Amino acid sequence: MPVSPTPEQIAIIESTKPVTMIEAVAGAGKTTVLACVLKRACDKGVAPAQAIALCFSQGAKERLTQKFVEEGAPRGIVVQTVEEFARQQVISMAGASYLDMPVFYDSNEQIRPHIVAAAEAVWQRYADAGVLTDFDFSFDSNERIEDFIRLLVRLKANLVTLEFEARDTDEIAESLDESAELIAICKEVERQRGTDSGECVWQSPFDHVTDLIGLFRRQPEAVNVLPRFRICVVDEWHDVNAAEFALVQLLARHARLVVVGDRDQIINAERGADPALSSNGFDFAFPGATRQAITRTFRFGSSLSALAGAMMRRECVSQPGLSTRVTYMPYQPGADNDCAAMVVATITAARARKDAKLSDFAVVVRDADQSIDIENQLIDAEIPYRCSGFDSYLVRPEILMLRGLLHIATGSYDTLSGEKLSTEKLVRSLGLYASARFDSDADFASLLSFDERLAPELKNERRWKEALRMITAEPATLESFFSGILCRVSSVDSDSTGRWKIRFAEVVATLREMAANVAVKNTAVQLLTYAVRQLDLASATSRVFVSRGRADSATRSIDAFIRFAGNRPDQSATDFLRELAARQASIGKKLNYLKGRAQLDLTTVQYAKGKEWPQVLIPYLERGQFPRTANLGEERRLLYVAMTRAMTSLTLFEPAEAFASRRSALLPRP
Ligand SMILES: Nc1ncnc2c1ncn2[C@@H]1O[C@H](COP(=O)(O)OP(=O)(O)OP(=O)(O)O)[C@@H](O)[C@H]1O
Q: In whole numbers, what is the pLDDT of the chain averaged over residues?
A: 88
Residue type at 151 in one-letter notation: L
For residue 141, the number of C-alpha atoms closer than 13 Å in the C-beta half-sphere is 7
User: Is 25 labeled as ligand-binding?
Assistant: yes
pLDDT digits (tens, 9 = 90+) for 45-59: 999 999 999 998 888
Distance (Å) from CA 493 to ligand 1 centroid:
55
Question: Per-residue pLDDT for 592 more than 60?
Answer: no
Mean pLDDT, range 514-524, rounded to an integer: 86
DSSP labels for 561-603? HHHHHHTSTT-BHHHHHHHHHHHHHHHHHHHHHHTTSSSEEEE
Mutate to test the pocket of ligand 1, among 30, 31, 265, 298 (most ligand atoms within 8 A of CB): 298
pLDDT digits (tens, 9 = 90+) for 623-651: 999 998 888 988 999 999 999 999 999 99
pLDDT of residue 457: 46
- Classify the complex by whether its ipTM is higher than 0.95, answering yes or no: yes
pLDDT of residue 352: 87
From CA 297, how far away is CA 7, in angstroms rounded? 14
User: Is 86 labeled as ligand-binding?
Assistant: no
pLDDT digits (tens, 9 = 90+) for 69-100: 999 999 999 999 999 999 999 999 999 999 88
Q: Ligand 1 within 6 A of 298 CB? A: yes
Q: Ligand 1 within 6 A of 81 CB? A: no
pLDDT digits (tens, 9 = 90+) for 458-483: 566 677 788 888 899 999 999 988 88
User: Is 28 labeled as ligand-binding?
Assistant: yes
Question: Per-residue pLDDT for 454 more than 60?
Answer: no
User: Is 31 labeled as ligand-binding?
Assistant: yes
Question: Per-residue pLDDT for 109 more than 90?
Answer: no
Cα radius of gyration (the chain): 27
Residue type at 577 in one-letter notation: L
pLDDT of residue 577: 96
Q: Ligand 1 within 6 A of 30 CB? A: yes
From CA 310, how far away is CA 529, in angstroms rounded? 46
Higher pLDDT, 263 or 439: 263
pLDDT of residue 446: 54
Distance (Å) from CA 328 to ligand 1 centroid:
25
pLDDT digits (tens, 9 = 90+) for 380-390: 898 989 898 88
- Inter-residue contact 627 to 661 (CB < 8 Å): no
From CA 605, how far away is CA 265, in angstroms rounded? 11
From CA 23, how far away is CA 332, in angstroms rounded? 40
Distance (Å) from CA 104 to ligand 1 centroid:
36
Q: What predicted TM-score, i.e. pTM, was given to this entire model? A: 0.83
User: Is 420 labeled as ligand-binding?
Assistant: no
End-to-end CA distance of the chain: 36
pLDDT of residue 285: 92
Mean pLDDT, range 210-230, rounded to an integer: 95
Burial class (CB in 10 A: 0-12, 13-18, 19+), 221: exposed
Q: Ligand 1 within 6 A of 27 CB? A: yes
CB burial readout 519-545, b (16+ within 10 A) else e: eeebbbbbbbebbbeebebeebbbbbb
Q: Ligand 1 within 6 A of 262 CB? A: yes
Confidence at 597, pLDDT banded by 50, 70, 90: low
- Inter-residue contact 289 to 21 (CB < 8 Å): yes
Which atom of ligand 1 is nearest to 610's Cα? Answer: 27
Distance (Å) from CA 611 to ligand 1 centroid:
10
Distance (Å) from CA 37 to ligand 1 centroid:
14
Which atom of ligand 1 is nearest to 24's Cα? Answer: 21
Three-state SS sequence of 417-437: CCCHHHHHHHHHHHHHHCCCC
Residue nearest to atom 25 of ligand 1 (CA): 26
Confidence at 546, pLDDT banded by 50, 70, 90: low
Confidence at 492, pLDDT banded by 50, 70, 90: low
Confidence at 297, pLDDT banded by 50, 70, 90: very high
pLDDT digits (tens, 9 = 90+) for 143-167: 678 778 988 998 999 888 988 888 9
